[in-house]
Amino acid sequence: MAVDEFELIRHYFSDLGNDKSGSVRLSVGDDCAIIAPPAGYNLVVSIDTMVEGTHFPKGTPGDKVASRLLGAALSDLAAMAAVPACFTLALTLPETDNVWLKAFSTRLSELASQYGVRLVGGDTTKGPLTLSIQVHGWTKPGKALLRSGAQPGDRIFVTGTLGDSRGGLETILKHITGEQVPYLQKRFFNPEPRLDTALLVSDFATSAIDISDGLLADLNHILVASRVGAMLHPAELPVSQSLYRWVGEKQAREWALGGGEDFELCFTVPLLSEPKLAWALREHDVAVTCIGQITETPGIVLAEEGKVWSVEPQGYNHFSEKGVNR
């Protein structure tokens, strides 16, 4: 990178976020960061990459890229019911655009402080705009929510509303304006990792995943890992008023099932634990909706008004021609 690489790191990325878990011993500035895991916890690690033109349109302002990038990365920690601690940032930039960098680092800093994570290091190179965040968090051994624990009879739940992000992307790509557009675009650029919800349900949930490729595709990962199937009730899918008003029920449902990048949680809870779920969520401000149940028969079926039909668990897949649905 240019001679001012170190100046750029110092200016924008040397003191960003806060370390709520109190585990960072050495942050940006040396060859490595040093982290002291809290006694008795396991380290949970995940990385997410965004490429301009693939994950966000060319010309997207830095603040929107920042919220999308950190939100998506932290969503993976939420899916494991991990407590976030810190992250590293790999930046490949075509040029030093100070307006873009300021917007990016300011928003990243706000959100990192909000979620209690600290930026502890990274790498800065020159090239086509590409950004990776690796997040690090903690779980108690045996307490992480895996994809493999769902059992026949478990109820399937999702957080928030589904399909908004897919709607938001559509409005961006087709330059659509209108009353519902700001909300939908906010849902695309500003995913809200469901870290608190995950911690509240982690004692009794049997499996979890975050919805990044679309509900059907991601639920299917749980089903395959747990060797079970699912019956879903499309009429129960939580859809926002904005999406419903903009595209109507049929399209909203399709995007709720297959649209990607909701970054909501999908998790399973045994029928007998439903009272615990209700109690755990009694003061929680994120909606949690039951959308179906786990079955013994593999595959996904939809059930509505006495009719039952099976669906393909499609989703967004970067290297598959078949699986791409947008």
- Sequence-separated (6 or more) residues with CB below 8 Å from residue 196: 284, 286
Q: Provide the minimum distance between the beta carbon of 42 and ligand ADP in the complex, in angstroms, as a whole number.
A: 23
With CB under 5 A, what is the number of residues at the site for Mg ion?
1
Task: Decide: 65 and 50 in contact? Cβ < 8 Å.
Answer: yes
Among 284, 224, 24, 256, smallest CA distance to 158 is for 256
Residue the block writes with tokens 């959308």: 291
The interface with ligand ADP within residues 96-125 (CB under 6 A) comprises 119, 121-124
Q: Which is nearer to Mg ion, 31 or 321 (CB)?
A: 31
Contact 253, 324 (CB under 8 A): no
The smaller minimum CB distance to ligand ADP, of residues 89 and 169, is found at 89
Min dist CB 95 to ligand ADP, Å, is 15
Judged by CB under 6 A, how many residues of this single chain contact ligand ADP? 13
For 156, the 3-state DSSP assignment is: strand
First to last CA, the chain: 35
Which entry of ligand ADP, Mg ion, none binds 122, CB below 5 to 8 A by partner kind? Answer: ligand ADP
DSSP structure class, residue 271: G
239: which DSSP letter?
-
Structure-token pair, residue 251: 């399209």
Structure tokens at 284: 């929680």
Which CB sits closer to ligand ADP, 93 or 222? 93
Q: Which lies closer to ligand ADP via its Cβ, residue 12 or residue 56?
A: 12
Q: Which of residues 65-94 bind ligand ADP (CB under 6 A)?
A: 89, 91
Among positions 28, 70, 81, 93, the unique one binding ligand ADP when judged by CB under 6 A: 28
31 binds Mg ion (CB under 5 A): yes
What are phi and psi for residue 300, nearest 5 degrees?
-115, 130
Whichever of 31 and 179 has its CB closer to Mg ion, that residue is 31
Binding site for Mg ion (CB under 5 A): 31
Binding site for ligand ADP (CB under 6 A): 9, 13, 28-31, 89, 91, 119, 121-124
